[in-house]
Amino acid sequence: MNVDELELTLRPLEVAEMARLLAAGQVASLGGGVERTLDVSSTRNRYRRTGIPVRELLGRPTGLFVLGIDAPELPKHARHRQVLGQVTDLAVHPSSARRAASPG
């Protein structure tokens, strides 16, 4: 299914909070995070890769974060995802597990 835009919310995390979330498998709160709408539109049924400006949203060159991704055009059960990640001076490292999340 093609979608035209994604609603992103990124919030920095401290090490202790990241550890708790990973250990418990919990969904993180996105309250107070930076919000951005990302245009991912393309020609119907054509592949397009769109980068997420994680460093820009994080507001610093490195750190831990939670990223909420909302695709309002998708069915409700597939609309929300959450990713835990880390930005280093070398790359962005997302968690390997996809997390279904409810907004907020």
69 neighbors 88 (Cβ within 8 angstroms)? no
Q: So what's the pLDDT on residue 96?
A: 47
Q: So what's the pLDDT on residue 92?
A: 73
Q: How many CA atoms lie within 13 A of 59 on its CB side?
A: 9
Alpha helices in 1-104 (DSSP H): 15-24, 54-58
What is the reported pTM? 0.81
Q: So what's the pLDDT on residue 3?
A: 87
Q: So what's the pLDDT on residue 25?
A: 84
Cα separation, 5 vs 74, in Å, equals 11
Please state whether 72 falls in left (phi above 0), alpha (psi between -120 and 50) or beta.
alpha
**Radius of gyration, alpha carbons of the chain:** 14
For 55-96, write each residue's pLDDT tens digit: 999 999 999 999 999 998 888 888 899 999 999 988 777 774
Please list the residues that pair with 68 across neighbouring strands: 9, 82
For 7-60, write each residue's pLDDT tens digit: 999 999 999 999 999 898 888 999 999 999 999 988 888 888 889 999 999 999
Pairing mode of beta strands 34-39, 92-94: unpaired
